[in-house]
Chains A and B, each alone.
Chain A
Amino acid sequence: MSSLVQSVDWLAIAPPTIAAVVGLAVLVADLFLADARKALLGWSSVAGLALSLLALLPLLDGDRATFCRVTGGDACSYAADRFTLVVQLLVLGGALLAALLSVTALKDADRRLPEGEYWFLLLSSAAGAALLPASRDLATLIVALEVASLPAFALVGIRHGDRRSSEAALKFFLSSVTATAVSLLGVSFVYATTGTLYLTEVAGRIGDVDGQLHTLAQTGVVLTLVGFAFKTAAVPFHFWVPDTYVGAPLPIAAYLSVVGKAVGFSGLILVTVVAFPPYAGVWGPALAVLAALTMTAGNVGALRQRATRAHGAVRLLAWSSVGQAGYLLVPIAAAAYTDDAEGAVGSTVAYALMYAAVNLGAFAIAALVARRSPLNRVADYRGLYASHPVTALVLAFFLLCLAGLPPGVVGLFAKVTVFSAAVDAGLGWLSVVMAVNVVIALVYYLRWTALLFRAPEGETRKHRVPAPLTAAIALTAVLGVALSGAPQLILRFSDTGLF
């Protein structure tokens, strides 16, 4: 009889593990470190995230799987395939950039934020987010979702004594927990009908469940999606976004806007395309409608933002991230209608990579402006070109990438892949809705862009840009420009199989 003990491929699970271990180490080190040397914590966290990114390299040679069942079938709980690696790259890279922003933010906060806890929470959340795309059973998936979310609640409310921060955290927490509970209920229904939690086995069995259990399975599928839809901030689970982003420290808002979304859509992809393909008729139309509503709600919300409102820039980015989430959902919905489901979800991954790079860049510049004018209204960006010409040009580039207009070539082609997935799947109405949304979105992106180059209102003062912020802006800008020259680097995921 073979051993019942599962063998563990440590190399395969290295990326999330490193992040988690470094997180714990930072928490412990915080106890022994003198106040003057707290900055070390930040830099070791940044190094830890970089290290876990490097740990992706040895995995490139082929698919790996671990935590496999020893008896009865070869289902595994953890897989390091191409999809996993790409999303882990996105998540860990996003966390790294958010960490760079945090270094400056914590320094500016001057010990009003607890540094040890901050870094511990950020790294734990990143570890959970990196675990999620690798999960191949429903239990691990939910656990990863919670590991990614729970620290995020605390991070949002980390500003002690700040009413808005606590309120945002509470809002975020309550709605998220409800969504997770609903999701868990769905998972239990699916387990009840199929008798397995492994995604591949669910896919095999859910197609021919007992006729009496059919409704239960269908309900299970829909409810499972809810939790992940919440994470992507799809309508009607988008209300928490603007308040949470404004209430949270700015680097955390940046983190949520990218990594939070990645958690949501990678979970959705795993559940829909891997676990529930026989129910494409149920989740396909549902996701299509959700995508249309989400992008419309997000873009209209962003359009209604006034330039003079306090924290308008972050609020605008929050609403626009809801709109972008709508675009991310389109190819997943299209996957239900086409034979090439992997190619379709590849479009989502490609779009998410583009979005992550430029959106984090935009947040980095928002963090820069927030140092000068703490209210961070959109109107504060007026005349940025006069004081910081390079920064203004880079922000204009990011915004045009988000809008999908040249010179943001990569944004344009990322939108083209999404459109092409929709057209290929025959979702004509959805692509028309998206076309209208692209035009709406252009209004607020271009309005902001134009503001950068207007003559400044008062005198302009040059500020020194802190090194971590410079690094973050430079990194995202170089990424954006390089991808504009060679969009194939990310678009290839829409062409080849990911699983």
Chain B
Amino acid sequence: MIDISESVMQFLLALIVVGPLIGAAAALLPAPPGLKGKSPDQAVLRHGVVVTGAVLVAAIVLALGFDHSRPSRMQATTDISWIPALDVRIHLGIDGISLPLLVLTALLTFLCALYSYFKTPAGPSPKAFVALLLVLETGTLATFAVLDLLLFFLAFETVLVPMYFLIARWGGAGRRAAAWKFILYTLLGSVVMLLGLLLVGLNSGTFDMVALATDNGRSLTTSVQVVAVLAIGIGLAVKTPMWPLHSWLPDAHTAAPTVGSVLLAGVLLKMGTYGFVRILLPVAPEGMRTFAPYLAAFAVVGIVYGSLACLSLAKQGAKGDLKRLIAYSSVGHMGFVLLGIATMSPTGVNGALFANIAHGLITGLLFFLVGAVKDRTGTTDLDALSRAAAGTRSVAGATGAPGSAGSTSGTGGTSGTGSTGAAGTGGALYSRAPRLGGLLSFAAVASLGLPGLGGFWGEMLALFGAFRPAEGLSRPAFLVFMAVAAFGTLLTAAYLLVVVRRVCMGPAERESPELADVRTYEFAAWTPLVVLTVVAGLWPRALLGLTDPAVQQLLSGGTR
């Protein structure tokens, strides 16, 4: 859109990747005079906002300088030899596939930093929090910007330790077990992925993604491709997560602090699906063709499974946790993304990439909102929330005691009888905090894929892709998958509407405790997500115009 010289673009991309890392190191040092702020905590949180803000600005400028007429070409490329012994090169670059993810990551991290500035996360010192957040940002941004397999692995691993500490130190109940589950699952996956990457690299003689994509798997025998796809696919599938490798996700989301959940759902999961598109599709097409039907089958099972799990969590008396519910809904949504990828057709892959971005925006927003609800009511338990308005009628104290109601056993003894008595009530968020309630139902409706909002196009295109999968894939099988997935959208709509009804609607009793409505900083953190969700829904071409040429080229023989 605007003309920026190539060397400036290179610098910007390098800054985006390295900047947060330097910022993290700086966060650990004492603040220099003049920047001390009101307190050390405030200074370091502000430092986080400034660094992530600068990265966001750089990302936006990069997006503006990106040559939108040729999104299939790698732009802002840097290619420096780093470890010749392993043939590792610092090869950075962006195309239409990685640019949206890069901007999304920068945006979400900035919003998280902004949110934390005003609402300091409960836990140990904010200094470490900011440093970890910035290391996390480096890892995620690098994942989307690097074009070398081993560097990709390095970036993939970089996010593990910061995320572990974010969950284990700033999380809620059961955080330690959840953090262990997260890091062990993903590490096991990524080490297996490393074996696959090495297999590809050693057999084809290069670790460069661009060269490998151009080669399009011609220098790899079918058996190598099959093994490589299996190994790399397992690593990526754990991260995505694909059913049945998803079980770390609900625990991690439930225990993670708000900011951690937002980044986990909004960014970290995308690293898995991005790997499928960037590495597996172009590098090992034959191996991918072998596994595509299985991938699609698992994806579809994930869609239905996620929805059913959500439905059962949303039931009255199930003591379903709202964060856990959204985590399961992520499993379902990522199922659509995987289904789109498994079709190996341009339509499906474009849909997958679109759904990726949309899920990042919408689920990020949902986790922010649930975090806000938790701050106000002290619980994310659906039963407790829906009973909240009927304070005097149902179990006393279900809302009043933050923490006790959040755990699954808090009011266990009485809830069974209490919930039947409270049947038909709702949380009445609409009347108690109308703006918050409105936003929550907006996000829920966007998540279920209402046409006109961001969630729609991705799932639509993924289903279209399944209707006509790539040549060589069994069409009848994919038609079945499509039908099942379409049924999954119905289930998705069902549980999200149940959630909206139980949390937002219902009569508010006069005795129910006051709830603060959306605050200014919350508006600031959420508005971009809302606006982008609407824009993505009304003007999908903005995104598809970027991804489509790149996808076409990736599927037909690599990037130039």
Contact = CB atoms under 8 A, between A and B. Distances in A.
Contacts of B202: 420, 423-424
Contacts of A487: 82-83, 86
Given A419-B198, A455-B124, A412 B154 contact: yes
Contact of A406 (B84, B158, B195): B158
Contacts of A239: none
Interface string A201-241: 00000000000000000000000000000000000000000
B508 to A, nearest CB: 41
A494 interface: yes
Interface stretch (A36-44, A55-63, A126-134, A432-440): A432-440
A438 B191 contact: yes
A491 B199 contact: no
Nearest to B139: A406
Contacts of B150: 413, 416
Given A406-B157, A435-B191, A413 B83 contact: yes
B195 A419 contact: yes
A416 B198 contact: yes
B86 A432 contact: no
Contact of B85 (A405, A417, A436): A417
Nearest to B87: A495
Interface string A465-499: 00000000000000000000001100111110000
- Where chain B touches its partner, the secondary structure class is helix
B199 A436 contact: no
A406 B86 contact: no
Interface of A: 350, 393, 400, 405-407, 409, 412-413, 416-417, 419-420, 423-424, 428, 431-432, 435-436, 438-439, 442-443, 446, 450, 453, 455, 487-488, 491-495
Nearest to A423: B198
Contacts of B188: 435-436, 439
B183 A495 contact: no
Interface of B: 28, 82-86, 88, 124, 128, 135, 139, 150, 153-154, 157-158, 160-161, 164-165, 168-169, 180, 183-184, 187-188, 191-192, 194-195, 198-199, 201-202
Contact of B187 (A428, A432, A442): A442
A446 B183 contact: yes
A208 B348 CA distance: 62
Contact of B161 (A400, A416, A492): A400
A488 B128 contact: no
A406 B198 CA distance: 18
Given A439-B191, A442-B184, A492 B198 contact: no
B84 A488 contact: yes
A459 to B, nearest CB: 18
Nearest to A493: B85
B165 A423 contact: no
A409 B154 contact: yes
21 contacts: A405-B157, A405-B187, A406-B139, A407-B158, A413-B83, A416-B198, A417-B85, A423-B199, A432-B192, A435-B195, A439-B184, A439-B187, A442-B183, A443-B184, A446-B161, A488-B84, A488-B85, A492-B85, A494-B85, A494-B86, A495-B86
Contacts of A446: 161, 164, 183
A453 B128 contact: yes
A491 B135 CA distance: 25
Contacts of B183: 442, 446
Contact of B194 (A406, A419, A450, A453): A419
A409 B188 CA distance: 18
B154 A406 contact: yes
B179 to A, nearest CB: 9
Contacts of A494: 85-86
A398 to B, nearest CB: 14
A450 B165 contact: yes
Nearest to A495: B85
Contact of A450 (B158, B168, B198): B168
Contacts of A442: 183-184, 187
B220 to A, nearest CB: 14
Contacts of A413: 83, 86, 88, 150, 154
A420 B198 contact: yes
Contact of A488 (B82, B165, B195): B82
Contacts of B82: 487-488
Contacts of A350: 85
A412 B139 CA distance: 15
Contacts of A495: 84-86
A442 B182 CA distance: 13
A345 B28 CA distance: 40
Contacts of B165: 450, 453
Contacts of B86: 413, 416-417, 420, 487, 491, 494-495
Most buried by A among B83, B154, B158, B202: B83
A432 B164 contact: no
A433 B60 CA distance: 44
B161 A491 contact: no
Nearest to B191: A435
Nearest to A437: B191
Most buried by B among A400, A417, A424, A446: A446
Given A406-B161, A412-B157, 19 more contacts: A400-B161, A405-B157, A406-B158, A412-B154, A413-B154, A416-B150, A417-B85, A420-B202, A423-B198, A423-B199, A435-B194, A435-B195, A442-B184, A442-B187, A453-B169, A455-B124, A491-B85, A492-B84, A495-B86
Contacts of A417: 85-86
Contacts of A436: 188
A-B pairs with lowest CB-CB distance, top 7:
A495-B85, A491-B85, A435-B191, A406-B158, A423-B198, A488-B83, A439-B188
B542 to A, nearest CB: 34
A409 B154 CA distance: 8
Contacts of B139: 406
Contacts of B194: 416, 419, 435
A450 B82 CA distance: 31
B157 A431 contact: no
Contacts of A438: 187, 191
A435 B196 CA distance: 12
Contacts of A450: 165, 168
B398 to A, nearest CB: 31
Given A442-B187, A446-B183, A450-B168, A491 B83 contact: yes
A420 B158 CA distance: 20
Most buried by A among B135, B188, B194: B194
B232 to A, nearest CB: 13
Given A400-B161, A416-B150, A495-B85, A423 B195 contact: yes
A341 to B, nearest CB: 16
Nearest to B198: A423
A23 B199 CA distance: 49
B498 to A, nearest CB: 39
B16 to A, nearest CB: 18
A322 B188 CA distance: 21
A460 to B, nearest CB: 15
Contacts of B128: 453
Nearest to B81: A488
A91 B343 CA distance: 56
A431 B195 contact: yes
Contacts of B199: 423
A95 B164 CA distance: 36
A423 B203 CA distance: 10
Nearest to A436: B188
B236 to A, nearest CB: 15
A406 B202 CA distance: 23
B19 to A, nearest CB: 16
Contacts of B84: 488, 492, 495
Nearest to B195: A431
A436 B192 CA distance: 9
A348 to B, nearest CB: 14
